[in-house]
Amino acid sequence: MLLVVEIALQVRAQIKTGQSVYTLMTGQGARAIDPVTGLRLLRPQAVIKGSGMELATNSWGLRNREVAPTPKPGDTRLALMGASSIQGTHAPTNDDTAASVLERQLQAQQRRIEVVNAGVADLTVPEQLTMLTKRLIPAGVHLVYWYPGANDITCRRPQKNAAQWRIAVPGLPQWLLTQSLIVKNASFLKSKTAASDASNGTPTLNAELLERILGDGIRAAQAAGVDMRLVTIATRYAPSQTPQERESYAASALHFRPCFNADQMIAHVQKMNSIIREQARLHGVPVVEAAPAMTGEAGLFGDASHFSVPGEKRFAELLLADFQAHPMVAEH
């Protein structure tokens, strides 16, 4: 029976996302190690199709059309950098991502501008710094909008002592979908108090590391003559909601962070946003305030953290307003 369920889930995964055990076992998975950055990015030069979704990548492993090694003379190259929110988790096509929307808005003003989507799901802030220094700066970007996302908010697992270790049970193949999908789809059954269980780990954000990496990124950009703008993090869940609403709207974020409850997630995201603002202030760069402009707005999110199609448009509008309000240090 389990095998039948697994086959059904694999077929569903292939139809919905274009990814299943077949694509993974035949080397056609959605990820690959990028030789330039050393990061695990999207499979280059691929079109990954699923139900209601098409994700096309370029040779850099980004969800973007092909990009020349450097901009044409007289052109301006912008980049949106981050993780899954920038990649466009709920954007049906590349054209629906905030990067593409912003590019069309700028080009409609007769500007010779291209916007690179440098967001890849799961990238942490240190990995985003690598993206900046090894890919974007060498590619001649003139302006980077950095939306760090919340991947650095994690559960730190407690250390096990000798008495806690048990004989290992043979593991299931990594491609098996049944167990993870059953857990994910039944996450609503989890007690609201489970987040306080120490066995799930400790809510963690390495504030010192985040401060250092953001500062390093700003300084690296400034040293290369690249304009930098930091963007605060917006979420579907918000302090103004009822406790029940917060838990419900934060469900997808809490699934991957079982040591958290919604209020703890809110506090940690607010801490990240405080660090973003402070690092921008210390280094004299503008901040785009996506957090107050978008947080808690139901129609702007497809889940706890990722933008819906209207959210992609709203995010692009915020960046456009910033671009118009803060002239670049150097015109290109």
For the question of whether the overall pTM of this predicted structure is more than 0.75, the answer is: yes
The reply to whether 3 falls in a domain is no
- Whether 55 and 80 map to the same domain: the answer is no
- Whether 278 and 235 map to the same domain: the answer is yes
Domain that holds residue 313: 71-156+187-325
Q: If DSSP codes are grouped into helix, strand and coil, which group holds residue 148?
A: coil
In 3D, which of 252, 222, 181 has the Cα closest to residue 21?
Answer: 181
Q: CB 244: neighbour CB atoms within 10 A?
A: 10
- Whether 118 and 267 map to the same domain: the answer is yes
- Whether 79 and 32 map to the same domain: the answer is no
Range in 42-56, 92-106, 168-182, 316-330 the model is least confident about:
168-182
Q: Write the single-letter amino acid at 22.
A: Y
- Whether 97 and 26 map to the same domain: the answer is no
Task: List pLDDT tens digits, range 20-29.
Answer: 433 433 345 7
| Residue 16 confidence (pLDDT) | 43
- Whether 222 and 126 map to the same domain: the answer is yes
Q: Is the pLDDT of residue 74 over 60?
A: yes
Return the CATH number at 88.
Answer: 3.40.50.1110
Task: List pLDDT tens digits, range 42-70.
Answer: 999 999 887 788 999 999 999 999 999 99
The reply to whether 169 falls in a domain is no
| Residue 50 confidence (pLDDT) | 76
CA atoms within 13 A on the CB side of 238: 15
- Whether 314 and 258 map to the same domain: the answer is yes
